[in-house]
């Protein structure tokens, strides 16, 4: 009887783990197997600031706690809102907000309740302070900290394990919801004002307007889960000029051959040139080919400590087991990993203005080779590009023509030599013709 009862309890537990359709992914830890990959764990861990419960009780982040209290107080003062009333909004909705975190996160948070009577009380205070301080950051408040610490704050706020539910920010926000969305979307642009991390592209300005309309005008399910989720949505918004994706079913049998190239140098060997795309969207990758030229268009990518951290956390977010998504970032990284096999490939991308970094070529190549391991990708992302690349790569005639052009026309001197030889040959032919066929008198 006891065994039967235990089995029933297990079935109840099993059914409770079912994920409702169209549910939001919960805020959770980065999977262990991603953390242990070649010292990448440091990119998932906050350096100065803990946001939310996962890293809240870490003793090495006490300085960040002082900053958060100061920023939260300044946010409340600037908004002229009553702090008790703001906190009560969180407390009244704490049961719903608890559901935004994974069970193991809540269990760990409840193990230490020093200064609080319950998990709900601790969590409501934590979300209140962290939410107000984050809103102060989103409003670009004057944080009065050193530039080096500011960079750490920017990195920490975009960590997967440092996210706050969007509902928390909405409850604490002073204006209408559309203004909150705009503040959240403009936050990455704040990085442009940080010395050493200010690489930017004017073509990115205004590109998120389409995403704003989707998020603010459509159903509630379209609102972001948190700040990192909103960034994910904006980055993967397809440009208006983007063409239709080629479906697998539209291919003839045996038309698509597996990709066997190993980096940019292999592609250049068959005459493929590189060009920067008009935007920095990962979706704006394209390939065009003719008989004499072929062009692979790739968006500009910046590689620095902040960008690496952000990219790794977007990958980790896409790989959360309860996040139903198109794996756009993972697919993009897999594509870049296929193009970057050696430091020489990085050098070529830098020379074409596609890759901007102060890192060494070896460091960049190593980064993409490591993070490109064990990714969950969507084979239909960049499928059209891969098909066209495959067709050109395996076309012997185009490869021969491209090899000839690259060998004999890769600099002005070879072109001049060819033209001189061609002119001499043409004059010799003309002279011979008139010798054999003299003009009649």
Tell me the pLDDT tens digit for each residue of 390-436: 888 787 776 666 666 666 666 676 667 767 777 888 888 787 877 77
Helix (H) or strand (E) holding 183: helix 177-186
Mean pLDDT of the chain: 81
Lowest mean pLDDT among 3-12, 52-61, 64-73, 334-343: 3-12
**Where in the chain are the domains?**
23-196+215-235, 248-394, 402-434
Give 308-353 pLDDT, tens digit per residue: 999 999 999 999 999 999 999 999 999 999 899 899 999 999 999 9
> Closest Cα partner for 151 from 111, 198, 118?
198
List, as own/partner pairs, every contact residues 337-343 make where C-beta atoms lie below 8 angstroms and the sequence separation is at least 24, other chains included: 337/368, 337/369, 337/371, 337/372, 338/259, 338/261, 338/263, 338/372, 339/263, 339/264, 339/267, 339/298, 340/263, 340/264, 340/364, 340/365, 340/368, 340/369, 341/262, 341/263, 341/365, 341/369, 342/263, 342/265
Instruction: Check residue 171 and give its pLDDT.
Output: 96
Distance of alpha carbon 127 from alpha carbon 379, whole angstroms? 39
Distance of alpha carbon 30 from alpha carbon 219, whole angstroms? 29
Instruction: Check residue 343 and give its pLDDT.
Output: 94
- Angle at which helices 147-157 and 305-318 pack, to 10 degrees? 10
pLDDT band at 62 (very low <50, low <70, confident <90, very high): very high
**Paired residues of 289 in beta bridges:** 294
pLDDT > 70: percent of the chain? 77
Say if residues 393 and 258 touch (Cβ distance below 8 Å): no
Residue 268 scores a pLDDT above 60:
yes
User: For residues 394, 295, 199 and 41, what is the CA-based torsion angle, rounded to 10 degrees?
Assistant: -10
Between residues 399 and 85, which one has the greater pLDDT?
85
pLDDT band at 36 (very low <50, low <70, confident <90, very high): confident
Give 161-177 pLDDT, tens digit per residue: 999 999 999 999 988 89
């Amino acid at each position: 009887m006891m065994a039967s009862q235990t089995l029933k309890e297990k079935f109840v537990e099993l059914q409770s783990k079912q994920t409702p359709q169209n549910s939001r992914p919960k805020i959770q830890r980065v999977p262990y197997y991603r953390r242990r990959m070649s010292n990448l764990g440091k990119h998932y861990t906050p350096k100065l600031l803990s946001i939310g419960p996962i890293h809240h009780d870490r003793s090495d982040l006490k300085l960040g706690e002082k900053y958060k209290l100061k920023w939260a107080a300044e946010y409340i003062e600037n908004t002229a809102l009553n702090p008790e009333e703001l906190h009560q909004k969180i407390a009244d909705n704490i049961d719903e907000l608890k559901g935004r975190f994974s069970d193991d996160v809540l269990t760990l948070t409840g193990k230490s309740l020093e200064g609080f009577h319950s998990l709900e009380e601790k969590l409501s205070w934590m979300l209140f302070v962290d939410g107000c301080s984050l809103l102060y950051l989103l409003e670009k408040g004057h944080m009065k900290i050193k530039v080096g610490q500011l960079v750490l704050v920017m990195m920490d706020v975009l960590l997967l394990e440092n996210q706050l539910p969007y509902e928390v920010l909405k409850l604490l926000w002073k204006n209408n919801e559309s203004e909150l969305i705009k503040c959240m979307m403009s936050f990455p642009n704040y990085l442009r004002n940080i010395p050493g991390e200010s690489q930017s592209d004017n073509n990115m300005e205004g590109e998120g307007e389409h995403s704003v309309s989707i998020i603010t005008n459509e159903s509630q399910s379209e609102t972001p889960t948190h700040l990192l989720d909103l960034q994910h949505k904006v980055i993967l918004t397809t440009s208006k000029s983007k063409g239709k994706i080629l479906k697998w079913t539209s291919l003839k049998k045996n038309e698509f051959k597996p990709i066997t190239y190993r980096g940019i140098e292999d592609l250049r060997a068959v005459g493929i040139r590189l060009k920067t795309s008009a935007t920095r969207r990962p979706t704006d990758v394209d390939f065009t080919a003719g008989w004499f030229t072929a062009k692979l268009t790739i968006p500009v990518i910046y590689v620095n400590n902040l960008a690496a951290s952000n990219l790794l956390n977007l990958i980790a977010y896409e790989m959360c087991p309860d996040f139903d998504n198109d794996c756009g970032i993972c697919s993009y990284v897999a594509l870049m990993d296929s193009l970057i096999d050696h430091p020489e490939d990085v050098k070529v991308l830098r020379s074409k203005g596609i890759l901007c970094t102060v890192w060494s070529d070896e460091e960049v190549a190593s980064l993409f080779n490591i993070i490109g391991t064990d990714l969950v990708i969507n084979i239909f992302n960049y499928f059209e590009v891969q098909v066209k690349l495959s067709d050109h790569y395996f076309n012997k005639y185009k490869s021969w023509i491209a090899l000839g052009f690259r060998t004999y026309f890769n600099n002005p001197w070879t072109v001049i030599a060819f033209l001189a030889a061609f002119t001499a040959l043409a004059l010799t032919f003309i002279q011979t013709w008139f010798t054999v066929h003299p003009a009649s008198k």
